[in-house]
Amino acid sequence: MAEEKIIRFGVLGAGKIGTFHTRTLAGLKKAGVSLVGVCDPDLMRAQKLAWEYNCTPYSKPEELIPQIDAVIIASPTQLHHKLGMYCLENGIHTLVEKPIAVTMEEARDLIRLAKRKELVLQVGHVERFNPAVVEANKFIQDPRFITINRLGPYDPRMSNISVVLDLMIHDIDLLLTLVPSEVTSIDATGLSLFSAHEDIANVRFRFANGAVADITASRASFERARYMHLFQKDAYVSVDFMNARVKVYKKEKPVIESMQDVSVQYPKVEKQMPITAEQLHFINCIRTNRTPAPSGEKGSQALELALKITEQIQRFDIPKTTHLHTPKPFQMASNVARAAQIMLDETLGNMKRED
Protein backbone atom coordinates (compact mmCIF):
# COMPACT_ATOMS: atom_id res chain seq x y z
CA MET A 1 0.00 0.00 0.00
CA ALA A 2 1.37 3.38 -1.02
CA GLU A 3 2.22 5.70 1.84
CA GLU A 4 -0.19 8.62 2.26
CA LYS A 5 1.10 11.95 1.11
CA ILE A 6 1.91 14.39 3.88
CA ILE A 7 -0.50 17.34 3.90
CA ARG A 8 1.35 20.58 4.58
CA PHE A 9 -0.73 22.91 6.78
CA GLY A 10 -0.62 26.57 7.69
CA VAL A 11 -2.66 28.74 10.05
CA LEU A 12 -3.65 32.33 9.32
CA GLY A 13 -4.20 34.14 12.61
CA ALA A 14 -2.24 33.74 15.84
CA GLY A 15 -4.93 34.87 18.26
CA LYS A 16 -6.93 32.70 20.65
CA ILE A 17 -8.62 30.52 18.03
CA GLY A 18 -5.48 30.40 15.89
CA THR A 19 -3.56 29.15 18.92
CA PHE A 20 -6.05 26.31 19.45
CA HIS A 21 -5.77 25.27 15.79
CA THR A 22 -1.98 25.49 15.77
CA ARG A 23 -1.63 23.41 18.94
CA THR A 24 -4.01 20.77 17.59
CA LEU A 25 -2.35 20.52 14.17
CA ALA A 26 1.04 20.13 15.84
CA GLY A 27 -0.25 16.95 17.49
CA LEU A 28 -1.61 15.33 14.32
CA LYS A 29 1.63 14.01 12.80
CA LYS A 30 0.23 10.47 12.88
CA ALA A 31 -2.62 11.69 10.65
CA GLY A 32 -0.08 12.62 7.99
CA VAL A 33 0.05 16.34 8.77
CA SER A 34 3.02 18.66 8.68
CA LEU A 35 2.56 22.06 10.33
CA VAL A 36 4.59 24.44 8.17
CA GLY A 37 3.87 27.83 9.68
CA VAL A 38 1.69 30.41 11.38
CA CYS A 39 0.95 33.81 9.86
CA ASP A 40 -0.17 36.96 11.66
CA PRO A 41 0.32 40.69 10.90
CA ASP A 42 1.83 40.89 14.39
CA LEU A 43 5.06 39.01 13.68
CA MET A 44 6.02 38.83 17.36
CA ARG A 45 2.77 37.06 18.15
CA ALA A 46 3.30 34.67 15.23
CA GLN A 47 6.88 34.02 16.38
CA LYS A 48 5.83 33.16 19.92
CA LEU A 49 3.29 30.64 18.68
CA ALA A 50 5.53 29.22 15.96
CA TRP A 51 8.46 28.67 18.32
CA GLU A 52 6.21 26.88 20.79
CA TYR A 53 4.98 24.43 18.15
CA ASN A 54 8.13 24.07 16.06
CA CYS A 55 7.07 25.78 12.85
CA THR A 56 7.91 29.00 10.99
CA PRO A 57 6.38 32.44 11.68
CA TYR A 58 5.18 34.70 8.87
CA SER A 59 3.66 38.17 8.77
CA LYS A 60 2.32 37.98 5.18
CA PRO A 61 0.05 35.26 3.74
CA GLU A 62 1.83 35.38 0.38
CA GLU A 63 4.99 34.13 2.13
CA LEU A 64 3.25 31.10 3.66
CA ILE A 65 0.68 30.05 1.02
CA PRO A 66 3.15 28.79 -1.65
CA GLN A 67 4.55 26.28 0.86
CA ILE A 68 1.30 24.58 1.97
CA ASP A 69 -1.54 22.36 0.71
CA ALA A 70 -4.21 23.30 3.27
CA VAL A 71 -4.93 26.24 5.54
CA ILE A 72 -7.02 27.15 8.55
CA ILE A 73 -8.21 30.75 8.55
CA ALA A 74 -8.58 31.97 12.14
CA SER A 75 -8.39 35.68 11.42
CA PRO A 76 -10.99 38.35 12.29
CA THR A 77 -14.29 37.77 10.47
CA GLN A 78 -13.83 40.86 8.29
CA LEU A 79 -10.79 39.18 6.67
CA HIS A 80 -12.38 35.79 5.96
CA HIS A 81 -13.43 36.69 2.42
CA LYS A 82 -10.17 38.33 1.36
CA LEU A 83 -7.95 35.60 2.81
CA GLY A 84 -10.26 32.77 1.75
CA MET A 85 -10.36 33.98 -1.85
CA TYR A 86 -6.56 34.32 -1.91
CA CYS A 87 -6.03 30.81 -0.54
CA LEU A 88 -8.56 29.15 -2.85
CA GLU A 89 -7.25 31.04 -5.89
CA ASN A 90 -3.84 29.57 -5.11
CA GLY A 91 -5.17 26.00 -4.92
CA ILE A 92 -5.26 25.66 -1.12
CA HIS A 93 -7.88 23.53 0.67
CA THR A 94 -9.46 25.89 3.19
CA LEU A 95 -11.10 25.60 6.58
CA VAL A 96 -12.43 29.04 7.50
CA GLU A 97 -13.64 29.74 11.01
CA LYS A 98 -17.29 30.67 11.53
CA PRO A 99 -18.93 32.75 10.28
CA ILE A 100 -17.83 31.97 6.75
CA ALA A 101 -17.95 35.68 5.84
CA VAL A 102 -19.55 39.01 6.71
CA THR A 103 -22.13 39.06 3.90
CA MET A 104 -23.97 36.51 1.77
CA GLU A 105 -22.28 37.81 -1.38
CA GLU A 106 -18.86 37.20 0.17
CA ALA A 107 -19.94 33.68 1.18
CA ARG A 108 -21.16 32.95 -2.35
CA ASP A 109 -17.84 34.16 -3.77
CA LEU A 110 -15.96 31.62 -1.63
CA ILE A 111 -18.35 28.78 -2.49
CA ARG A 112 -18.18 29.44 -6.24
CA LEU A 113 -14.37 29.63 -6.25
CA ALA A 114 -13.98 26.42 -4.20
CA LYS A 115 -16.24 24.58 -6.67
CA ARG A 116 -14.41 25.96 -9.69
CA LYS A 117 -11.05 24.97 -8.23
CA GLU A 118 -12.39 21.61 -6.95
CA LEU A 119 -11.11 22.34 -3.45
CA VAL A 120 -12.43 21.47 0.00
CA LEU A 121 -14.06 24.44 1.71
CA GLN A 122 -15.13 23.70 5.29
CA VAL A 123 -16.65 26.14 7.78
CA GLY A 124 -15.46 25.95 11.39
CA HIS A 125 -18.69 25.13 13.24
CA VAL A 126 -16.81 23.11 15.82
CA GLU A 127 -19.87 22.37 17.96
CA ARG A 128 -20.93 19.78 15.38
CA PHE A 129 -17.92 17.76 16.50
CA ASN A 130 -18.61 18.07 20.23
CA PRO A 131 -18.67 14.42 21.38
CA ALA A 132 -21.79 15.12 23.43
CA VAL A 133 -23.60 16.33 20.31
CA VAL A 134 -22.35 13.34 18.31
CA GLU A 135 -23.65 10.94 20.99
CA ALA A 136 -26.95 12.79 21.48
CA ASN A 137 -27.67 12.53 17.76
CA LYS A 138 -28.15 8.78 18.24
CA PHE A 139 -31.21 9.48 20.42
CA ILE A 140 -32.71 12.48 18.62
CA GLN A 141 -35.73 11.68 16.46
CA ASP A 142 -38.04 14.38 15.18
CA PRO A 143 -37.67 16.92 18.03
CA ARG A 144 -40.72 19.13 18.51
CA PHE A 145 -39.29 21.73 20.90
CA ILE A 146 -35.64 22.69 21.39
CA THR A 147 -34.00 25.13 23.78
CA ILE A 148 -30.33 26.12 23.55
CA ASN A 149 -28.48 28.48 25.90
CA ARG A 150 -24.95 29.69 25.22
CA LEU A 151 -23.82 32.15 27.88
CA GLY A 152 -20.43 33.55 28.75
CA PRO A 153 -18.47 36.63 29.87
CA TYR A 154 -17.72 39.59 27.64
CA ASP A 155 -14.75 39.21 25.29
CA PRO A 156 -13.49 42.51 23.81
CA ARG A 157 -11.88 40.57 20.92
CA MET A 158 -15.34 39.93 19.47
CA SER A 159 -16.81 43.40 20.03
CA ASN A 160 -16.69 44.11 16.29
CA ILE A 161 -19.56 41.67 15.55
CA SER A 162 -22.86 40.85 17.25
CA VAL A 163 -23.33 37.96 19.66
CA VAL A 164 -25.47 36.35 16.95
CA LEU A 165 -22.50 36.03 14.59
CA ASP A 166 -20.09 35.41 17.45
CA LEU A 167 -21.87 32.72 19.49
CA MET A 168 -25.43 32.02 18.37
CA ILE A 169 -24.36 31.00 14.87
CA HIS A 170 -23.05 27.71 16.34
CA ASP A 171 -26.56 26.86 17.51
CA ILE A 172 -28.19 28.04 14.30
CA ASP A 173 -25.96 25.56 12.47
CA LEU A 174 -26.95 22.80 14.91
CA LEU A 175 -30.64 23.55 14.44
CA LEU A 176 -30.28 23.20 10.68
CA THR A 177 -28.84 19.70 11.19
CA LEU A 178 -31.28 18.59 13.91
CA VAL A 179 -34.52 19.74 12.30
CA PRO A 180 -34.91 18.50 8.70
CA SER A 181 -37.38 21.22 7.81
CA GLU A 182 -37.40 24.78 6.50
CA VAL A 183 -37.43 27.73 8.89
CA THR A 184 -40.72 29.56 8.33
CA SER A 185 -40.35 32.42 10.82
CA ILE A 186 -38.01 34.00 13.34
CA ASP A 187 -38.88 36.28 16.25
CA ALA A 188 -35.75 37.97 17.59
CA THR A 189 -34.91 40.36 20.39
CA GLY A 190 -31.52 41.64 21.45
CA LEU A 191 -29.68 44.24 23.48
CA SER A 192 -26.34 46.02 23.37
CA LEU A 193 -24.72 46.24 26.80
CA PHE A 194 -20.96 46.52 26.43
CA SER A 195 -20.26 46.95 22.71
CA ALA A 196 -21.75 48.72 19.70
CA HIS A 197 -23.43 45.44 18.70
CA GLU A 198 -25.89 43.06 20.35
CA ASP A 199 -24.34 41.37 23.38
CA ILE A 200 -27.41 39.31 24.28
CA ALA A 201 -30.04 37.89 21.94
CA ASN A 202 -33.01 35.55 22.10
CA VAL A 203 -34.66 34.03 19.04
CA ARG A 204 -37.68 31.81 18.50
CA PHE A 205 -37.57 29.71 15.34
CA ARG A 206 -40.60 28.05 13.80
CA PHE A 207 -40.20 25.28 11.24
CA ALA A 208 -42.48 24.05 8.47
CA ASN A 209 -42.90 20.67 10.20
CA GLY A 210 -44.26 22.37 13.34
CA ALA A 211 -41.08 22.23 15.41
CA VAL A 212 -40.19 25.24 17.56
CA ALA A 213 -36.78 26.26 18.95
CA ASP A 214 -35.77 28.95 21.45
CA ILE A 215 -32.11 30.03 21.43
CA THR A 216 -30.42 32.45 23.80
CA ALA A 217 -26.86 33.71 23.38
CA SER A 218 -25.17 36.10 25.78
CA ARG A 219 -21.67 37.47 26.25
CA ALA A 220 -22.80 39.53 29.23
CA SER A 221 -22.88 36.70 31.78
CA PHE A 222 -20.44 36.20 34.63
CA GLU A 223 -20.48 32.42 34.28
CA ARG A 224 -20.22 30.13 31.27
CA ALA A 225 -23.14 27.83 30.52
CA ARG A 226 -23.77 25.95 27.29
CA TYR A 227 -26.56 23.39 27.13
CA MET A 228 -29.35 22.11 24.92
CA HIS A 229 -32.68 20.42 25.68
CA LEU A 230 -34.70 18.56 23.06
CA PHE A 231 -38.26 17.37 23.59
CA GLN A 232 -39.72 14.74 21.31
CA LYS A 233 -42.40 12.07 21.42
CA ASP A 234 -41.95 9.97 24.59
CA ALA A 235 -38.43 11.30 25.25
CA TYR A 236 -36.35 14.26 26.38
CA VAL A 237 -32.64 14.65 25.57
CA SER A 238 -30.37 16.95 27.59
CA VAL A 239 -26.92 17.96 26.32
CA ASP A 240 -24.20 19.71 28.32
CA PHE A 241 -21.78 21.09 25.71
CA MET A 242 -19.10 22.22 28.16
CA ASN A 243 -18.85 19.03 30.20
CA ALA A 244 -19.65 16.67 27.30
CA ARG A 245 -22.56 14.96 29.05
CA VAL A 246 -25.82 13.57 27.73
CA LYS A 247 -28.99 12.50 29.57
CA VAL A 248 -31.92 10.77 27.95
CA TYR A 249 -35.30 10.60 29.71
CA LYS A 250 -37.75 8.09 28.22
CA LYS A 251 -41.40 7.42 28.88
CA GLU A 252 -41.77 3.72 29.68
CA LYS A 253 -45.58 3.53 29.98
CA PRO A 254 -48.46 5.08 28.03
CA VAL A 255 -49.66 6.74 31.24
CA ILE A 256 -47.10 8.08 33.73
CA GLU A 257 -48.18 7.43 37.32
CA SER A 258 -44.87 8.31 38.95
CA MET A 259 -41.27 9.06 38.05
CA GLN A 260 -40.65 5.32 38.29
CA ASP A 261 -42.31 5.14 34.87
CA VAL A 262 -39.56 7.30 33.36
CA SER A 263 -36.16 5.79 32.60
CA VAL A 264 -32.97 7.86 32.66
CA GLN A 265 -29.97 6.93 30.55
CA TYR A 266 -26.46 8.36 30.72
CA PRO A 267 -24.87 7.46 27.36
CA LYS A 268 -21.12 7.10 27.34
CA VAL A 269 -19.54 10.06 25.57
CA GLU A 270 -16.25 9.62 23.75
CA LYS A 271 -13.47 11.75 25.19
CA GLN A 272 -12.13 13.76 22.27
CA MET A 273 -11.56 17.45 21.78
CA PRO A 274 -14.08 18.82 19.24
CA ILE A 275 -11.38 20.80 17.42
CA THR A 276 -9.35 17.60 16.92
CA ALA A 277 -12.36 15.81 15.43
CA GLU A 278 -13.04 18.85 13.24
CA GLN A 279 -9.50 18.91 11.85
CA LEU A 280 -9.43 15.14 11.29
CA HIS A 281 -12.68 15.46 9.34
CA PHE A 282 -11.14 18.21 7.20
CA ILE A 283 -8.04 16.10 6.56
CA ASN A 284 -10.16 13.08 5.60
CA CYS A 285 -12.24 15.17 3.18
CA ILE A 286 -9.04 16.40 1.51
CA ARG A 287 -7.74 12.84 1.11
CA THR A 288 -11.03 11.37 -0.12
CA ASN A 289 -12.38 14.40 -2.02
CA ARG A 290 -15.55 14.32 0.10
CA THR A 291 -17.87 17.21 0.88
CA PRO A 292 -17.12 18.43 4.42
CA ALA A 293 -19.61 19.05 7.21
CA PRO A 294 -20.42 21.81 7.25
CA SER A 295 -19.58 22.69 3.68
CA GLY A 296 -19.50 26.24 2.41
CA GLU A 297 -23.14 25.92 1.38
CA LYS A 298 -24.28 24.79 4.84
CA GLY A 299 -22.13 27.42 6.50
CA SER A 300 -23.72 30.08 4.32
CA GLN A 301 -27.22 28.91 5.36
CA ALA A 302 -26.32 29.53 9.01
CA LEU A 303 -24.88 32.93 8.06
CA GLU A 304 -28.02 33.87 6.13
CA LEU A 305 -30.23 33.16 9.14
CA ALA A 306 -27.83 34.98 11.47
CA LEU A 307 -27.93 38.07 9.25
CA LYS A 308 -31.74 38.00 9.16
CA ILE A 309 -31.78 37.83 12.96
CA THR A 310 -29.44 40.79 13.41
CA GLU A 311 -31.43 42.76 10.85
CA GLN A 312 -34.66 42.07 12.72
CA ILE A 313 -33.12 43.07 16.06
CA GLN A 314 -31.62 46.28 14.68
CA ARG A 315 -34.85 47.27 12.98
CA PHE A 316 -36.36 47.98 16.39
CA ASP A 317 -33.21 49.26 18.08
CA ILE A 318 -31.88 52.79 18.52
CA PRO A 319 -29.35 53.59 15.76
CA LYS A 320 -25.78 53.07 16.91
CA THR A 321 -22.65 54.94 15.99
CA THR A 322 -19.16 53.61 15.54
CA HIS A 323 -17.94 55.73 18.45
CA LEU A 324 -17.20 54.24 21.80
CA HIS A 325 -20.14 54.62 24.15
CA THR A 326 -20.98 54.01 27.75
CA PRO A 327 -22.69 50.61 28.28
CA LYS A 328 -26.44 51.17 28.49
CA PRO A 329 -27.02 50.21 32.16
CA PHE A 330 -24.31 52.64 33.25
CA GLN A 331 -25.54 55.28 30.80
CA MET A 332 -29.05 54.97 32.27
CA ALA A 333 -27.69 55.32 35.79
CA SER A 334 -25.70 58.36 34.69
CA ASN A 335 -28.78 59.94 33.12
CA VAL A 336 -30.78 59.42 36.32
CA ALA A 337 -27.99 60.96 38.37
CA ARG A 338 -27.83 64.01 36.10
CA ALA A 339 -31.60 64.44 36.27
CA ALA A 340 -31.49 64.24 40.08
CA GLN A 341 -28.69 66.82 40.17
CA ILE A 342 -30.70 69.23 37.98
CA MET A 343 -33.75 68.86 40.24
CA LEU A 344 -31.61 69.45 43.33
CA ASP A 345 -29.99 72.54 41.79
CA GLU A 346 -33.39 73.96 40.86
CA THR A 347 -34.75 73.30 44.38
CA LEU A 348 -31.78 74.97 46.03
CA GLY A 349 -32.09 77.88 43.62
CA ASN A 350 -35.75 78.34 44.47
CA MET A 351 -34.94 78.25 48.20
CA LYS A 352 -32.30 80.95 47.76
CA ARG A 353 -34.69 83.16 45.80
CA GLU A 354 -37.34 82.78 48.52
CA ASP A 355 -34.77 83.85 51.14
Q: Looking at residue 248, which CATH number applies to its domain?
A: 3.30.360.10
Domain assignment present for 325: no
Do 225 and 93 have their domain in common? Answer: no
Q: Is pLDDT larger for residue 322 or for residue 51?
A: 51
Domain assignment present for 300: no
Do 97 and 141 have their domain in common? Answer: no
User: Which whole-number Å values give the CA distances from 276 to 19, 20, 134, 231, 289, in the listed order?
Assistant: 13, 10, 14, 30, 19
Residues 6+ apart with CB under 8 A from 139: 235, 237, 246, 248, 265, 267
Do 121 and 173 have their domain in common? Answer: no
Total-model pTM? 0.84
Handedness of CA 159, 161, 163, 166 (dihedral sign): negative
Do 170 and 190 have their domain in common? Answer: yes
SS3 assignment, position 26: helix
Position 147 scores a pLDDT of 98
Do 216 and 279 have their domain in common? Answer: no
Whether omega before 267 lies within 30 degrees of 0, making that bond cis, reads: no
Do 204 and 241 have their domain in common? Answer: yes
Do 16 and 100 have their domain in common? Answer: yes
Its domain, for residue 33, covers 7-126+275-294
Domain assignment present for 301: no
Position 3 scores a pLDDT of 65
Position 332 scores a pLDDT of 42
Do 81 and 230 have their domain in common? Answer: no
Distance between CA atoms of residues 342 and 179, nearest Å: 56
Do 36 and 135 have their domain in common? Answer: no
- pLDDT tens for 121-132 read 999 999 999 999
Q: How many domains does the chain divide into?
A: 2
Position 335 scores a pLDDT of 45
Distance between CA atoms of residues 122 and 299, nearest Å: 8
Over pLDDT 70: what percentage of the chain? Answer: 88
Position 333 scores a pLDDT of 42
Domain assignment present for 331: no
Domain assignment present for 122: yes
Do 210 and 72 have their domain in common? Answer: no
Handedness of CA 299, 302, 308, 312 (dihedral sign): negative
Distance between CA atoms of residues 237 and 234, nearest Å: 10
Position 316 scores a pLDDT of 65
Pairing of strands 183-191, 200-207: antiparallel
Vertex 163: Cα angle to 159 and 168 (nearest 5):
150
Cβ–Cβ under 8 Å, residues 97 and 19: no
Query: What is the domain-level CATH number for residue 80?
Result: 3.40.50.720
Position 253 scores a pLDDT of 83
- pLDDT tens for 284-342 read 999 999 999 999 998 999 999 999 999 999 886 544 444 444 444 444 444 444 444 44
Position 355 scores a pLDDT of 47
How distant is the alpha carbon of residue 131 from its chain centre?
16
Do 237 and 112 have their domain in common? Answer: no
Do 268 and 146 have their domain in common? Answer: yes
Domain assignment present for 61: yes
